[in-house]
Chains A and B, each alone.
Chain A
Amino acid sequence: MKTPADSELRRHLQSMSRRHFLRGVGATLAVPTFASLMPSKMLAATHALETATTATGAPLRTAFVTFPNGAIPDQWWPTGGSANFALSESLKALEPVRDQVQIFAGLDHANANPGKDGAGDHARGNGVFLTGVRLNKSATDIRAGISIDQVIAQDIGHLTRFPSLELTCDERRTSKVCDSGYSCAYQYNISWQDASTPMTAERDPRLVFERLFGAGEHGRRSQNAQQRMADRRSVLDFVMADARRMNRQLGHDDQEKLDQYLTGVRDVESRIQRAEQFGPTVDPAVETPEGIPESRAEYVRIMYDLMLLAFKTDSTRVATFVLAHDGDNRSFSEIGINEGHHDLSHHRNREDRIAKVAAIDKWYVEQFSAFLQRMDETEDVDGNSLLFNSRIVYGSGNADGNRHTHENLPVLLAGGGGGQLQAGRFVSHGQTPMSNLFLTLADQVGVQGLGRFGDSTGRLTNV
């Protein structure tokens, strides 16, 4: 749980004239990336232990993956009935795992529609996707909402070394104005710790790996991670001593200022405690990735693999992955498409352009399917597959990229949820808020007392 003071402090720190410098320090002292651990959660651990777990005692994982610019509807939606559906062209690659996937129709994000806010459907498509709220249209006054992955992470995150993992294959750009007056924070982040604090995703596979398992060669990573933690501890002890020295000499107002600062420091401390509590990191017998690969397919594969590895080692149970932000305009020369994805998505019903967008949609699904297959081949602690013990939402915040619609979004739900999900179906939910699905996912992992989320109108029952 985050107290409001945390984000306030962070904003405050960011506004300070030393902010560039602080950012550098943050890399070492660690700008809080993960939700802090509150004592109340520790007390609640027994409840959560039961609920973040499958019936057979395996960890229950949750992931959200987004692809940009919607999909060509005609080539996305399957035909046929709920169980005997025929996969469409864009989804064909899911055939090997069709029994483990649900294809959902009729899920909407009404808050991504323009309403009074006008242009900016890509920023909204992205920022609304996991939050379900209306974004404040501004480049500087950022107000979204907590995202569903963070709702879950704040409830069950104390069970793992990392409460959540945020991945992206996108460029890093978060400080300027992006889409028609929306801050780039909306367009590049799907995961939000609170209304004003996005969880910045990591884009370098090497850094993801080192954060999860420690730097260096196999066999030395645990020690390196411990070492890094000990270094941080020594910094922290000094900082706390200096704060105590100062605090003894302060007036009331100034003590409050110092206290705000200390709230941020305590966040770091709780991460160190968490690391100490979980002991040495797991050290997988694989090579550390070398940075961002040249090939797009390779890049996406390696990020999916890191997610798989994090799940398999139970380093975290919650992950998000932005394949590219909504509005992304990269070319796909690897599959012979030299036009930009976003340029093409405004196809104006020209056949050649539609075909190219569909090919890109299909390419993304192929990468996702390959990941699901690897998840399916990986055995979990209870003998089931990792995929069986997961819930992985795959979707886009735009439905039809040509028209910028946000109804009937292309959404897949993969995995068996440890037996809670009726996988292998094509289900239409009519016209239902996407947020309803999120409420159900939160329920199933054991989040208690979540009455509403985003624009939810109830639970999605048929999943």
Chain B
Amino acid sequence: MQLSYYQPARVGQTLTAAHAGDYEVELDLQLVERYVDNQFDLNEADLVFKINDQVVHERRLVREGWQSVKVVVASPLAPGSHDVVVELYPRIPAQPKVRDLGVRINHVVLRGPMAREHWVTPARYAETFPRPVPETEAAQDAYRRELLGAFATKAYRRPVAASTVDALVDVARGVSAQPGSTFEQGVAQAMVAVLASPGFLFREESIAGEFAAGTIAAVDEFALASRLSYFLWSSMPDDTLFALAAAGELRANLPAQVARMLADPRSGQLVENFAGQWLQARDVVTVPIQDFDVHLRENRDPELLAAYQTFRDLSLIPRSERSPEQVERRSAALEIVRGGYRSDYPRLSGDLREAMQRETELYFDHILREDRSVIELLDSDYTFLNADLAEHYGLESLGIEGEELQKVTLPEDSVRGGVLTQGTVLLVTSNPTRTSPVKRGVFILENILGAPPPPPPPNIPGLEDAVTAEELGKLSLRETLALHASEPTCASCHQRMDPLGLALESFNAMGKFREEEMNLPIETEGRLISGESFTDIRELKRILAHERRDDFLHTLVEKMLTYALGRGMEYYDIVTIDQIVDRLEANEFRMSALIEGIVASAPFQQTRVVQSAVAESLLVNDRPSVTLTRPPPAP
């Protein structure tokens, strides 16, 4: 709940005390404001905190940024209801209300009674300690062994050696024996030891049976359970997986388990992390895009641009040296620039960026859950939109309402459909003020066609440096690029990148559809180095989904296999990739064929034997990334 500094207010709540005694009442507040540059808001307000009409705390509020304030009041309370009230009194005389000063009440908490006889067992105590602590030392040790053995098994994701449990019991007993310490504190400290040990932080993988060093052998069932759960859930195996592994029946039940795991909401992690990394969908929230500059490129306003320049030039002259005429010109220019910023141009809000991220995630999720063809990742007649995103894409005619994204059938011949025309990909492949056909071309080569171009030779000037600012202002991006790629050394790569990127020129750096830039029409036609020609993005998508389908399938398999294994692809993985592509082709390109193919593959099932029968391998839980990195889960 938020109160304004400018309005008297009284809000309250009734708290119930079960017993008579000393209580603590905690009031958690946050001061809020809307930032306005160089404008002060000197309003003040008096906050009064009352319990049962008694003033227990008073404070004067001024503008204090976003400071958080915690008020803790000790108060004896009788059993029954108690009125807790916050009153706010604006101070007179009022000052200009510039920054919408306010105070947010996060919560009021009643804590107590504090006397020891009222202490209760924490609500979740029994989750860790299912029984009361036994009396005798021997029984306590048995209880420790039971608790810590189960905990370590879970943490290590495999059975632990008796000697490990012994050591943990020793740690727990030692800490409990300290003066003032408790049984629970000892167990807690031993748990800390487990969580700090390599057995938890790394994934130990054993193999089943005896094999000579250097040979390839199947990983044991516990290791397989972990591989599976980190691939599909980005988390540890659940009880079902663990029980199957313990019984030695996981391998025999893999398809059923994969199906179960994909149906579980935890598989949302696969969507979020894989789409987030492969398509960089999560980067859309932070990629720097200046909406005003993007807008200006398509809506040239000579007066505004001139004012911009004037303001910048005159600002370079020290204030004391500016003539009155310059001072006047500078403020006039500033007024025009400000007017531009205040004008109605398409804004790229945080909400819109988030909607873009969700669009890509829901799209991938849909293909996964409905077991659709993976080719739909490239081209389809549907996508997921909310009202704002639909408007942003110029699809107001669909009449979508609300903030919630929903599946939408696109108009016939729409340029949208497929990940390449989603805001995520279009934004993360742009520069802050304009599109980058080069970046977009590279993106398609790397992530769709699996043919990444070599890095540019050193000392190559950037696009802006290759031509003068004046030239850059006059040429379309296509013409500028042509200039850039006219050098033979550049051309060999740019011939591959540029046509792909230029096909996406009909989308600006904010992902909006457009037909011209800098008063010049956008031209999207081109020809791939492999010979296929197209006139626009619709045709390019069809070429990628048909003529170049095999390239795309290989790339997708490679990306997801990398994600599943937590390592980069090696030459010997080619056979596996081919096999999974074959499997996709034999199964109408369904997503399930891709995932099942990976799970069934040799690199997912096996490992290289390091020493002898007990060889173990280490993998960091968070697989070292090669082309894909795994993020931490949400806190």
A47: chain B residues at CB < 8 Å are none
A247 nearest in chain B by CB position: B198
A17 contacts which of B63, B198, B622 (Cβ < 8 Å)?
B622
B40 lies within 8 A of chain A by Cβ: yes
Does A251 lie within 8 Å of B610, measured CB to CB?
yes
B62, B194, B608: the one within 8 Å of A331 (CB): B62
Task: Verify if A16 is at the interface (C-beta below 8 Å from B).
Answer: yes
Instruction: Spot the interface stretch: A60-68, A196-204, A253-261, A367-375.
Output: A253-261
Residues of B within 8 A of A237 (CB): 171
Interface residues on B, range: 35 or more
Q: Shortest Cβ distance from A280 into chain B, in angstroms?
A: 16
**Which residue of A17, A181, A234 is within 8 Å of B171 (Cβ)?**
A234
- Among B164, B195, B198, B288, point to the contact of A25 (Cβ < 8 A): B195
What 1/0 flags go to A312-340 for Cβ under 8 Å of B?
Answer: 00000000000000000111010000111
A234 and B616 contact, CB distance less than 8 A: no
Return the chain A residue nearest B60 by Cβ: A333
Is residue B193 within 8 Å, beta carbon to beta carbon, of the partner chain? yes
- Across the interface, which residues of B come within 8 angstroms of A261, CB to CB? 198, 201-202
- Is B174 positioned at the interface, with any CB of A under 8 Å from its CB? yes
A interface majority secondary structure: helix
Q: Which of B44, B171, B286, B620 contacts A338 (CB 8 A)?
A: B44
The residue of chain B having its C-beta at the shortest distance from the C-beta of A15 within the complex is B622
Q: CA–CA, A128 to B13, complex, Å?
A: 50
B580 is an interface residue with CB less than 8 A from chain A: no
Whose C-beta in chain B lies nearest to the C-beta of A16?
B622
Chain B residues 17-73 with CB under 8 Å of chain A are 38, 40, 42, 44, 60, 62-65, 67
Contacts of B626 in A (CB 8 A): none
* Chain A, residue nearest B269 (CB): A17
- Check if A238 sits within 8 Å of B167, measured CB to CB: yes
- Cβ of B568 < 8 Å from any Cβ of A? no
* Bound complex: CA A276 to CA B615 (Å): 38
Say yes or no for B617: interface residue by CB 8 A criterion.
Answer: yes
Closest residue of chain B to A238, judged by CB?
Answer: B193
Binds A, one of B215-223, B259-267, B415-423, B627-635: B627-635
Residue of B202, B234, B611, B632 touching A257 (CB-CB under 8 A): B202
Q: Are B192 and A249 in contact (CB under 8 A)?
A: no
Contact of B197 among A16, A231, A239, A330 (CB under 8 A): A239
B618 at the interface (CB under 8 A from A): yes
Bound-complex Cα distance A198 to B121 (A): 40
Per the bound structure, the CA–CA distance linking A184 and B193 in Å amounts to 32
> Cβ of A19 < 8 Å from any Cβ of B?
yes
Instruction: Please indicate the chain A residues that have their CB under 8 angstroms from the CB of B174 in the complex.
Output: 234
Counting residue pairs across A and B whose Cβ atoms lie within 8 Å, the total is: 132
Given A249-B616, A251-B610, A329-B65, CB of A343 within 8 Å of CB of B632 = no
Count class of interface residues, chain A: 35 or more
For A339, list chain B residues within 8 Å (CB).
40, 42, 63
Q: Judge whether A5 is part of the interface by a CB distance below 8 angstroms.
A: no
Chain B residues closer than 8 Å to A343, beta-carbon distance: 38, 40
CB distance A249 to B198 under 8 Å? no
In the complex the two chains form, is A231's CB within 8 Å of B167's CB? no
Q: Is there contact, CB below 8 Å, between B178 and A249? A: no
Contact between chains at A249 and B197 (CB < 8 Å): no
Q: Is the CB of B189 within 8 A of A234?
A: yes
**Contact B620 A257, beta carbon cutoff 8 Å:** yes
Shortest CB distance A42–B (Å) = 26
Q: Which residues of A contact B447 (CB under 8 A)?
A: none
Within 8 Å CB of B197, what residues of A? 238-239, 242-243
Closest A residue by C-beta to B31: A331
A18's contact among B60, B178, B621, B629, by CB below 8 Å, is which? B621
Chain A residues within 8 Å of B171, by CB: 234-235, 237-238
Chain B residues with CB under 8 Å of A2's CB are none
Q: Are B198 and A243 in contact (CB under 8 A)?
A: yes
Kindly state the separation between the CA atoms of A348 and B331 in the bound complex, as whole angstroms: 14
On chain B, the residues within 8 Å of A251 by CB distance are: 608, 610-611, 615, 617
- Shortest C-beta distance, A122 to chain B (Å), equals 14
Q: For residue A5, give the distance in angstroms from its CB to the closest CB of chain B.
A: 15
**Which of the residues B40, B189, B319, B632 comes within 8 Å of A235, measured between beta carbons?**
B189
8 nearest CB pairs, A to B: A251-B610, A254-B618, A238-B193, A242-B197, A338-B62, A16-B622, A17-B622, A235-B193
7 extra interchain contacts, Cβ-Cβ under 8 A, other than A235-B193, A254-B618? A15-B629, A17-B234, A29-B192, A238-B197, A239-B193, A261-B201, A331-B65
